[in-house]
Homo-oligomer: A and B are copies of this chain.
Amino acid sequence: MSATAAEMRLHTMDVWVRDAAVLTDADELRTILRDAARVGAATVLDDAFHVFPNGAVTGVLLLAQSHLSIHTWPELALANVDLLTYGAADGEQALTLIEGRLGATRATVSCVVRGRG
C-alpha cells in the first residue's frame, strides 16, 4: 500500500438483474468478483463468503488495494457492490465487468473520493 490519501476512492454500485439465479450462486459470484479484480488491476489476498438460508450471498475479497464486496438480495433481484481502491486500480472497469456478468437491467453507480478531511 504505497498510494497517497488523495488517490483513495470508494466505488459503489446497486445493480438490479434480469435473472436472480446468479444472486444465489456463491461460486459464480466469487469467480465474477475475482475476474473483476483482475480487470481492475487489483491483487486478491483472500476472500470470505457467506450464504444465507434464503440463498442470499455476502462475499468480500481482500485486495492489496483494499476490498471488493457483494451483498445479494435475490428477493429483490438486487446486489450491492462496493469497491474501495487506491492508486492504479481501475474501479470503473471492475464494476463494468460485474454489471455485465450479473446480467444487469439497471445500475446506480457512484464514486466518492476518500481520505480528505
Contacts and interface: CB of A to CB of B under 8 A. Distances in A.
Interface of A: 1, 4-5, 8, 10, 12, 14, 16, 45-48, 50, 52, 54, 56, 58, 60, 62-64, 66-67, 69, 71, 73, 76, 78, 80, 82, 84, 106-108, 110, 112, 114-117
A78 B4 CA distance: 11
A10 B82 contact: yes
25 contacts: A1-B54, A5-B76, A10-B82, A14-B114, A45-B58, A47-B48, A48-B60, A48-B62, A50-B62, A58-B63, A58-B66, A60-B60, A60-B67, A60-B69, A66-B71, A67-B69, A67-B71, A67-B82, A69-B84, A71-B84, A80-B115, A106-B117, A107-B117, A108-B116, A108-B117
